[in-house]
Every structure is written in structure tokens, then in C-alpha cells.
């Protein structure tokens, strides 16, 4: 029997909203599936970037086969089509109301016009619906899950729901408590959106996406609660949390998200790190040396299939930020200096993306 409910005057199937989630810590109903995967974010808030053809050549030369693109720019998608590079395509926050308010047929038309007209579906790994909506664009939060549902129904019409996964990257600030990791909990004021989102992810076996930046945790920390060594994976002191030990902020941050999901009853939902990185200039502790130290350790954890103390040996899919510096980004100066590659395609520092480069 198909059950429907009305949310903000939008009718859509919501069997996933009616699931009885497992209790925190209970045995999960299916295994954590994702292999460790490394990708990179291709941000384009700049006026001096190399041609897309050169970008693709840089990616292939460095063995990078997974890329996050933040909006469905037609020329960019056309350039990537046929390259064999897997893409996470972003849906801009401002598009959410139109995708949410219409029927699935409208979402289908948007997919066909804005995405599938420019790139073959087999290259699309994820459609990332919005970016940090609950943190920086809360005006759009009521539209987030309805937009995802309509896009999912549209993908089902095309028999692509099994190969293209939908999610929505969130800022780590969706947690009201993150330390120690075992006390990780979502902000109660966001539960009205996060609970339906987690239900959808559970039902469709899709990952929870989170942008993780130990750099900003370090620079905003009061009373030296977060040390630079702990943020850069080089601390000699372990932080004990129950029976688990943490030697770096990255893994502690991820496990705080895992614990928060467990508390909501969704212990089996995967986590994908949709952004992480360290600036090489423009701020406190922002340097080439520190950017290399941070990103190198992140890559090692992917290549080694390390997982986290809460999920040991469970591969994590991670997207490094950013491919190039973005000279038109707003915010603090450091926001414009995350680029791993120079505009000439040469690495800003000797980061190896796998054992061969």
C-alpha cells in the first residue's frame, strides 16, 4: 500500500519517513558497503582558472577519478562527459524551492535539461542537493527533503535510482555537541529536517554527507581546546573516549557524526566527507607545510582503508578541497587559498593521491 502525507502542502510518497529506525548501537540491517574512495572538489569561484580540458588532464595525470562539481554548469559537464571521471554534481541552494514545489515530473524535466543533456548518467556518482543549507541558507531548509524526494522519484522514472545516489552535504555545525565523540548529537532545532533526511538516506542506502574542517575548529577554538598537532594528525597524546582512543580531530569529528546518527536510530548510514582540506595561506597556521601534513594524512587513511575508531576498517569516501585557489570566494582570506594545484597544473606541494603519483 502506498502511503502519502502532506508536508508544507506537498504530497509525495514517504515510506522512508515511516520506517522504524534501529536503536542506537543495535545490529544493523545491512553491512556498511562503501570502499575507501578519494576525490577532489573542483570549485570555480574564480576568474583565472585553466580551461576545463587542462583540468581534466591534471586529474587523469594524477590518477584522480572522482570529482565534486558544485553546480551543473553545462560547459563543464559537457567537458567531463566521456572522460570516465565520476562526478558528484551539486544542486544550488536557490534551486531547491522550484524542485520541491512541483511534481516529480518537473524534477525529471530539470534533470534531463540541466544534467543529462550534458553528461552521460553512467558518470554521475552522486547528486548533492544543496550545500550546507542548514548552516548558511536556512531559508531553504523546508524545501530540502521535498526536493530530494522529487529528484529521487524522477530518477526512478529513468531507472537510475540504483546507480545515482542523492544526499545533501551538511556543515559539521549541524552537531550541537561534538566532544567527546560519544556525546555527539544533532542540534535539536534541526531535527525536523535531519530526521526525514536520515530516513531517506536509510531507505535508499545513501550516505550522510558532511564537510569537515579541523582547520576552522582549531582557529576558532577558545583556550587552546584544540591543539595544532591534534588537528594535523601529529599529536603524541591520545584522547580517550570510553574504550576508544583518538589521536586526531578528523576521526573524532567523523565519529561524533556517527554517534549523533546512532542516537537518532540510524547506526547503519554511511558517512561521506564531501569536503575537507587545509589552507596554505591567508590565516593563522595556514601554510604549505601544514596543508601538506593535513591532506597527506587524510589520503593515507583513504589508501589504507583505516576507517575510524568507531568504525575501524570501514572505508571512507573523502573529497579534498580544493583543486585550485578561488580568487573570488567571499569570507576570510584563507578561504581563497585551499588549492592543491597551481594554475599551471603543478602541485602546490608534493601530495601523493595514491602510491603511484
94 assigned to active site: no
All 3 cell numbers of residue 60?
A: 587523469
All 3 cell numbers of residue 222?
A: 577558545
- Active-site pick, 132, 262, 264, 326: 132
275 assigned to active site: yes
Please give the C-alpha separations between residue 132 and each of 8, 91, 167, in angstroms, as whole numbers.
Answer: 21, 11, 11
- Active-site pick, 251, 262, 270, 275: 275
Q: What's the rounded Cα separation, in Å, for the pair 336 and 351? A: 19
Residue positions annotated with a catalytic role: 132, 275
Amino acid at each position: 500500500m502506498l502511503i502519502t502525507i502532506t508536508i508544507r502542502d506537498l504530497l509525495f510518497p514517504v515510506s522512508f519517513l515511516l520506517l522504524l529506525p534501529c536503536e542506537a548501537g543495535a545490529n544493523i540491517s545491512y553491512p556498511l558497503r562503501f570502499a575507501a574512495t578519494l576525490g577532489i572538489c573542483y570549485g570555480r569561484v574564480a576568474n583565472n582558472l585553466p580551461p576545463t580540458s587542462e583540468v581534466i588532464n591534471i586529474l587523469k595525470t594524477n590518477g584522480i577519478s572522482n570529482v565534486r562539481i558544485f553546480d551543473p554548469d553545462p560547459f563543464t559537464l559537457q567537458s567531463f562527459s566521456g572522460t570516465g571521471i565520476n562526478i558528484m554534481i551539486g544542486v544550488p541552494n536557490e534551486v531547491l524551492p522550484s524542485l520541491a514545489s512541483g511534481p516529480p515530473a518537473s524534477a525529471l524535466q530539470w534533470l534531463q535539461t540541466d544534467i543529462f543533456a550534458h553528461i552521460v548518467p553512467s558518470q554521475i556518482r552522486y547528486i548533492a542537493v544543496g550545500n550546507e543549507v542548514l548552516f548558511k541558507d536556512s531559508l531553504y531548509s523546508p524545501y530540502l527533503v521535498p526536493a530530494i524526494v522529487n529528484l529521487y522519484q524522477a530518477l526512478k522514472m529513468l531507472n537510475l535510482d540504483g546507480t545515482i545516489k542523492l544526499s545533501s552535504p551538511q556543515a559539521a555545525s549541524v552537531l550541537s555537541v561534538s566532544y567527546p565523540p560519544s556525546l555527539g548529537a544533532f542540534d535539536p532545532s534541526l531535527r525536523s529536517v535531519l530526521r526525514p533526511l536520515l530516513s531517506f538516506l536509510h531507505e535508499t542506502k545513501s550516505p550522510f554527507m558532511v564537510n569537515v574542517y579541523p582547520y576552522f575548529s582549531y582557529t576558532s577554538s577558545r583556550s587552546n581546546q584544540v591543539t595544532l598537532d591534534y588537528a594535523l594528525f601529529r599529536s603524541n597524546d591520545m584522547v580517550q573516549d570510553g574504550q576508544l582512543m583518538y589521536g586526531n580531530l578528523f576521526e573524532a569529528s567523523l565519529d561524533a557524526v556517527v554517534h549523533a546518527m546512532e542516537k537518532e536510530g540510524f547506526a547503519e548510514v554511511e558517512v561521506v566527507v564531501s569536503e575537507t582540506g587545509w589552507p596554505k595561506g591567508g590565516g593563522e597556521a595556514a601554510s604549505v607545510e601544514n596543508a601538506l601534513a593535513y591532506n597527506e594524512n587524510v589520503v593515507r587513511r583513504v589508501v589504507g582503508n583505516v576507517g575510524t575508531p568507531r568504525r575501524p576498517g570501514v572505508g571512507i569516501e573523502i573529497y579534498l578541497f580544493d583543486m585550485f585557489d578561488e580568487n573570488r570566494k567571499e569570507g576570510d582570506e584563507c578561504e581563497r587559498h585551499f588549492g592543491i594545484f597551481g594554475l599551471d597544473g603543478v602541485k602546490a606541494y608534493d601530495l601523493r593521491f595514491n602510491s603511484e603519483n
